[in-house]
Structure 1
Amino acid sequence: MITGTAAGVPYVALPPRTGTRLVLVWHLLGQPGTPQDMAATLPLPDVDAWRVYPALPLRDPSPDFLLDGYAPLVAEAADAVPDLVTALRGDLGCAGPVDVVGGSAGGHVALLTAVRGEVPVRRVAVVNPAVTAESVVEASVAAGFLPAYDWTPAARAAAAPLDVLAVADRLTAPLLLVRGEQEYPAFRPVQQRLCDAVPAAKLVDVAGLAHMLVTRTDEVGAEVGAWLTA
């Protein structure tokens, strides 16, 4: 496992056998919640590419969960991708289109990267991804992580750029969405709507998998690995 920093973003990387392709894999905010843990959980050993696990720019979510925490975190991570890819290509020698992978908030970053199109994306694989900021807030309230949330005009404005459903027609890369049987109820409908809106989408439900990626990881890794080697 290689550690480094590219364009100001810390990362860990797993080298390929012979390939030069680049796969970006963003971690969750829960478990696994660091690049090192995500690399250990989802190493994707059959994918002959540089597998790079960038760190999400963690923020203090107080006093406002969305305005001070989640929205700037996801936006900053997505904004960093073009410079990150350029730097990684120079540092690691990776070339060609990029595959993007992520779980939960990391999945949100992967989806935004794909719909923005600033970096050519070959394939997308997300596990229990966040798709809208509204569903993240709803899930956080339902799980007791957050008290009832006050949707101010500022919060609505911050949520709008994170709405992947609103720009799903821009997601032209093939999409794999791996969803746990015990996924957050607030996430399931928007995940389904996203797959329905993307012609080249495949939805895989994994029995026994909750939102956090702590069980059935071999099965999840096999699904993602097969998708990225197609």
Structure 2
Amino acid sequence: MITGTAAGVPYVALPPRTGRRLVLVWHLLGEPGTPEDMAATLPLPDLDAWRVYPALPLRDPGPDFLLDGYAPLVTEAADAVPDLVTALRGELGCAGPVDVVGGSAGGHVALLTAVRGEVPVRRVAVVNPAVTAESVVEASVAAASLPGYDWTPAARAAAEPLDVLAAADRLTAPLLVVRGADEYPAFRPVQEQLCDSVPGAKIVDVPGLAHMLVTRVDEVRAEVSAWLSD
């Protein structure tokens, strides 16, 4: 495992056997919640590619869950991708289109990267992804990690650019959603709507998998590896 910083983003990387393709894999905010843990959980050894695990820009929570925490975190991570890819190509010698992978909030970053189109994305594989800020807030309230939320005009404005469902027509790369059968109820409808909106998208429900990537990991690895091996 290689550690480094590219374009200001800390990362860990697993080198290929001979290939030069780049796969970016973003971790969750829960488990696995660091680049090192995500690399250990989802190493994707069957892919002859550079597998790079960037760190999400974690921050101390502020008074407003969305405005001070989730929205700037996801936005900053997605904004960093073009410079990150350029730097990684220089540092690691990887080339060509990029595959993007992520879980939960990391999946949100992967999806935003694909719909923005600022870097060429070959394939997308996300696990229990966040698709909209509204569903993230709803899930947090339902889990009692957030006592409630006041949707102010500022919050609505911050949520709008994070709405992958509204930008689904710009997601042209083949899309795989791996979802736990015990996924957050607030996430399931928007995940299904996203796959219905993207031609050729595939959704796989994994029995026994909850939102965090701590069970049934072998099945998740197999689905993601097969999707990115095409």
Using the size of structure 1 for normalisation, the TM-score is 1.00
Query: Which aligned pairs between 1:43-192 and structure 2 lie closer than 5 A?
Result: 43-192=43-192
Task: State the one-letter code of the partner of 1:42.
Answer: L
CA distance in 2, matches of 1:61, 1:38: 22
Q: Which runs of 5+ in 1 are unaligned?
A: none
Whether contact under 8 Å (1:169, 1:198) holds in the other structure is: yes
Q: CA RMSD in A?
A: 0.4
Secondary structure at the aligned position of 2:176 is classed as: strand
CA distance in 2, matches of 1:125, 1:169: 17
Task: State the one-letter code of the partner of 2:80.
Answer: A
Partner residue in 1 for 2:28: 28
Residues 91-130 of structure 1: per-residue CA shift (max 9 Å, x gap): 0000000000000000000000000000000000000000
Identity rate of aligned residues, in percent? 89
CA distance in 2, matches of 1:61, 1:149: 15
Residues 38-70 of structure 1: per-residue CA shift (max 9 Å, x gap): 000000000110000000000222200000000
Q: CA deviation at 1:200?
A: 2.2
Residues 136-192 of structure 1: per-residue CA shift (max 9 Å, x gap): 000000001101100000000000000000000000000000000000000000000
Secondary structure at the aligned position of 2:124 is classed as: strand
CA distance in 1, matches of 2:35, 2:188: 25
Residues 170-222 of structure 1: per-residue CA shift (max 9 Å, x gap): 00000000000000000000000000000020000000000000000111000
Q: Which runs of 5+ in 2 are unaligned?
A: none
Task: State the one-letter code of the partner of 2:111.
Answer: L
CA distance in 2, matches of 1:185, 1:172: 27
The range that moved more, 55-64 or 83-92, is 55-64
Partner residue in 2 for 1:38: 38
CA distance in 2, matches of 1:165, 1:112: 10
Whether contact under 8 Å (1:15, 1:51) holds in the other structure is: yes
Using the size of structure 2 for normalisation, the TM-score is 1.00
Task: State the one-letter code of the partner of 1:61.
Answer: P
Secondary structure at the aligned position of 1:176 is classed as: strand
Secondary structure at the aligned position of 2:156 is classed as: helix
Query: Which aligned pairs between 1:185-204 and structure 2 lie closer than 5 A?
Result: 185-204=185-204
Task: State the one-letter code of the partner of 1:123.
Answer: R
CA distance in 1, matches of 2:224, 2:158: 31
CA distance in 1, matches of 2:69, 2:111: 19
Secondary structure at the aligned position of 1:69 is classed as: helix
Task: State the one-letter code of the partner of 1:187.
Answer: F
CA distance in 2, matches of 1:228, 1:113: 16
